[in-house]
Amino acid sequence: MLPLEQWMLQLADYHENALVSVRPPKKPSIKERKQKLLTFLQEKYEPVYAKWTTERCAVCRWVEDWDYNKIIICNRCQIAVHQECYGARNVRDFTSWVCKACETPEIKRECCLCPVKGGALKPTDADTLWVHVTCAWFRPEVSFASDEKMEPALGILSIPSNSFVKICVICKQIHGSCTQCCKCSTYFHAMCASRAGYRMELHCLEKNGRQITKMVSYCAYHRAPNPDTVLIVQTPLGVFSAKSLLQNKKKAGSRLISSNRVKIEEIPTEETTELEPFSAARCRIFKRLNNNKKRIEDEAVAHRVMGHCHHPLEAIQSLNAFRVVEVPKTFSTFRERLNNLQRTENDRVCCGRSGIHGWGLFARRNIQEGEMVLEYRGEQVRRSIADLREARYRFEGKDCYLFKISEEVVVDATDKGNIARLINHSCMPNCYARIMSVGDDESRIVLIAKTNVTAGDELTYDYLFDPDEPDEFKVPCLCKAPNCRKFMN
């Protein structure tokens, strides 16, 4: 038996010889990390071809825009983004603006963090690698070098490797880097989640005098997806989305106006009804002044209120003379595109009896989703002039067609408008209106197809009247859509 002292010395020698180095492994170099990421990206995957629309921002998904933060549209790929969302605050010429990816159209740009093609892309600090702004936002390791230009994206190579081997619950693929639901271990690509209507939030906090931004996202189980979901912003002042923001800043969005009403003394007559103070007279339900079936001279014709209407193609073609116009393939500026839209509008649309109310606008041919249909043209006047004109039109019993471009400018299409003024409202529209700048502080209103429209279908869009109108000023909706709100405001 060994003495205790000898045994302890032998045990110490054993541990000394068996000692393993506990120094951390050497961190891979930037070149090695980039090569590993490129290897991940070269693996086979199924590209996701999303439908990008000019109706809403490709980053925050908001439909609304403001004078200080316009939605601008790339003249090549037609992607729509807010100036603030894309780092284009200093852009003044909206007519020929192109996104960063389209500045070099000969080179195909793809996001390195998701399989979704197209969208709002920005370069990174790693050569040849690009990223969606949304994907960059929802990776805590990634930030933008410049708050003003939002490029390049830094920290792509710092993203943990294990995030590149997670399967996205939406596209069912491993390609790219997945983010995680804040409530469970469900993984998904940030862009896939945004396109699928997942709840995504931006939390702005202040800690030790510094502003901290935290991105939070939820899976379909913890928050029900909604295609109209937008980025929710949480600040120390409260939580708001685009809708609540508009409620706080009335009439800030792009919408048909419901202007300040001027009281008019009614001229007493033997048989009269009070003029309803609507912004558009075509929205009124006609009421005959007397009960006899014969209409008196100069009396409006009452139209039967029905549902959505579809005219046969033969009837559509017989309404207006058809003319063939050769459409140029490319346009150097947005103004050229608008000029061509004006020249060819009669090839796409015509007027006809509406199933919603009175006369309406109908498609003469099939119109694809995202295609510009026609421009809403008229005389541009100041807001104060528009208020006076609206009062005069109502007094004269005239149909009133006013569309607000900004807080100060309104398009009056009543006397000097085009066929676009006949388009009716629907709570489930197939078109939407977009206010677009053509430079020199000039803006135009363009109606764009929200879905694929078949020849003969009636064209409609949401008038977006102010929803906070008093009950006495409520405008009844006649669209008969399944989701009809009953009132336009």
Beta bridge partners of 240: 233
Residue 16's pLDDT band (boundaries 50, 70, 90)?
A: low
Residue 172: its pLDDT value, please? 92
Rounded to a whole number of angstroms, the CA Rg of the chain reads 29
How far, CA to CA in Å, does 403 sit from each of 223, 389, 411? 37, 13, 5
In the structure encoding, which two tokens stand for residue 263, read together? 């009281």
**Residue 358 contacts residue 306 (beta carbons within 8 Å):** no
| 167 confidence band (pLDDT: 50, 70, 90) | very high
Predicted pLDDT of residue 261: 36
The average pLDDT across 374-386 equals: 90
Angle made by CA atoms 288, 289, 292, in degrees to the nearest 5: 75
Mean pLDDT of 303-314: 54
Average pLDDT of the segment spanning 331-355: 84
Are 201 and 233 in contact by the 8 Å Cβ rule? The answer is yes
Give the other-Cβ count within 10 Å of 183's Cβ.
13
- Grade residue 270 by pLDDT with cuts at 50, 70 and 90: very low
Percent of the chain with pLDDT over 70: 74
Candidate from 123-132, 317-326, 409-418, 457-466 with smallest mean pLDDT: 317-326
3-state secondary structure the chain: CCCHHHHHHHHHHHHHHHCCCCCCCCCCCHHHHHHHHHHHHCCCCCCEECCCCCCCCCCCCCCCCECCECEEECCCCCCEEEHHHHCCCCCCCCCCCCCCHHHCCCCCCCECCCCEECCCEEEECCCCCEEEHHHHHCCCCCEECCCCCCCCEECHHHCCHHHHHCCCCCCCCCCCCCEECCCCCCEECHHHHHHCCCCEEEEEEEECCEEEEEEEECCCCCCCCCCCCCCEEEECCEEECHHHHHHHCCCCCCCCCCCCCCCCCCCCCCCCCCCCCCCCHHHCCCCCCCCCCCCCCCCCCCCCCCCCCECCHHHHHHHCCCCCCCCCCCCCCHHHHHHHHHHCHHHHEEEEECCCCCEEEEECCCECCCCEEEEECCEEEEHHHHHHHHHHHHHHCCCCCEEECCCCEEEECCCCCCHHHHCEECCCCCEEEEEEEEECCEEEEEEEECCCECCCEEEEECCCCCCCCCHHHCCECCCCCCCCCCECC
What is d(CA 348, CA 322) in angstroms, rounded to the nearest whole number? Answer: 10
Per-residue model confidence (pLDDT) at position 278: 40
Mean of per-residue pLDDT scores for the chain:
76
Residue 424 contacts residue 355 (beta carbons within 8 Å): no
Place of tokens 């969606």: 132
The CA–CA distances, whole Å, from 59 to 121, 138, 195, 435, 449 equal: 10, 12, 10, 18, 20
pLDDT band at 331 (very low <50, low <70, confident <90, very high): confident
Q: Answer whether 414's CB lies under 8 Å from 386's CB.
A: no
Q: Is the pLDDT of residue 62 over 50?
A: yes
Is the pLDDT score of 249 beyond 50? no
What pLDDT, on the 0 to 100 scale, is given for residue 292?
47
Q: Which residue has the tokens 């469900």?
A: 186
Cα-flanking dihedrals φ and ψ of residue 444, to 5°? Answer: -130, 155
Is the pLDDT at 478 greater than 90? The verdict is no
For the cut 80, the answer to whether the pLDDT of residue 385 exceeds it is yes
Q: What is the pLDDT of residue 317?
A: 59
How close are the terminal C-alpha atoms of the chain, in Å?
98
**How many C-beta atoms surround the C-beta of residue 94 within 10 A?**
22
Confidence of residue 2 (pLDDT cuts 50, 70, 90): low
Q: If you average pLDDT over residues 90-94, what whole number do you get? A: 78
CA distance 251 to 178: 39
Q: How confident is the model at residue 39 (pLDDT cuts 50, 70, 90)?
A: confident
Q: What is the pLDDT of residues 115-157, one digit of tens each?
A: 999 999 999 988 888 999 999 989 888 888 887 888 889 888 8
pLDDT top residue among 37 and 119: 119
pTM (predicted TM-score): 0.64
User: Regarding predicted confidence, which is higher, 399 or 247?
Assistant: 399
Count of C-beta atoms within a 10 Å radius of residue 148: 10
Tell me the C-alpha to C-alpha distance, in Å, between residue 41 and each of 28, 55, 130, 171, 263: 18, 31, 12, 16, 66
Q: For residues 71 and 80, is the Cβ–Cβ distance under 8 A?
A: yes
pLDDT at res. 130: 92
Pairwise pLDDT comparison (37 vs 275), residue with the higher score: 37
Each residue of 181-217: pLDDT tens digit? 999 999 999 999 998 989 988 887 777 777 777 888 9
Q: What single-letter amino acid sits at 473?
A: F
Q: Is the pLDDT of residue 337 over 70?
A: yes
| pLDDT of 281 higher than 90 | no
